[in-house]
Copies of this chain bind each other. A is one copy, B any other.
């Protein structure tokens, strides 16, 4: 059985804790964090500490804190023999102070209070030492069916791709919501469409899934939409997207 310490009490820490708590191959021996209130919720299930000088011994230390706190937190773990990993898509592996360092990056968006099925969440692992990869793979496979060894360069690109697929997509949802609200329409009207759009690309490519005025080269609908838009930024986005989509398909028209 692998023993782990989770450093951090936020969103990712909690989701990882819950996933490992259900696993037979991994035991969380301690949760460490500054915030006593947040720590308290783990106290019934494992040891807790808010003293970074009192971190328990474990096979793996998972630092699940904000990106800009990772390097500093890792300084408390330099004397440990276990593998020290962070969970960030954006932070350099080498920002960890330990010689036995790695990354354990679950590629998902975590919402407080919303349970996730970890089995389908890709976990991207990296390690400085070859032997550590084996351990991190075991750790990942304890909670997910999709463990991938990737390079730092790949992780950076993956994080960038995730910003397009998640953050920017969510902002488009927000724009579509605001267009609805302006007309006294409920955002609920768009929710099934949003879900189906995401479900489509689970089985077909985004290129094949595309529909709409820009794909059809329907200049009249595009002009009608531009006439309806009052917000400059929305107009700019509409134009950029429509041109980009048209370009992809113009050979087919």
Residues of A within 8 A of B (CB): 67-68, 90, 107-109, 111, 114, 116, 120-122, 124, 146, 148, 150, 153-154, 156-177, 179-180, 182-185, 187-207, 209-215, 218, 220-221, 224-225, 228-229, 233-234, 236-238, 240-241, 244-245, 248
Cα distance, A59 to B176, chains bound together (Å): 35
Asked if residues B167 and A180 are in contact (CB atoms below 8 Å), the reply is no
Selected from B146, B182, B203, the residue in CB contact (under 8 A) with A157 is B182
Selected from B148, B168, B201, the residue in CB contact (under 8 A) with A189 is B148
Asked if residues A197 and B90 are in contact (CB atoms below 8 Å), the reply is no
Report chain B residues within 8 Å CB of A200. 109, 111, 114, 170
Asked if residues A224 and B172 are in contact (CB atoms below 8 Å), the reply is no
Selected from B158, B160, B202, the residue in CB contact (under 8 A) with A191 is B202
Cα distance, A212 to B159, chains bound together (Å): 10
Report chain B residues within 8 Å CB of A68. 218, 220
Asked if residues B169 and A212 are in contact (CB atoms below 8 Å), the reply is no
Q: Smallest distance from the beta carbon of A245 to chain B beta carbons, Å?
A: 5
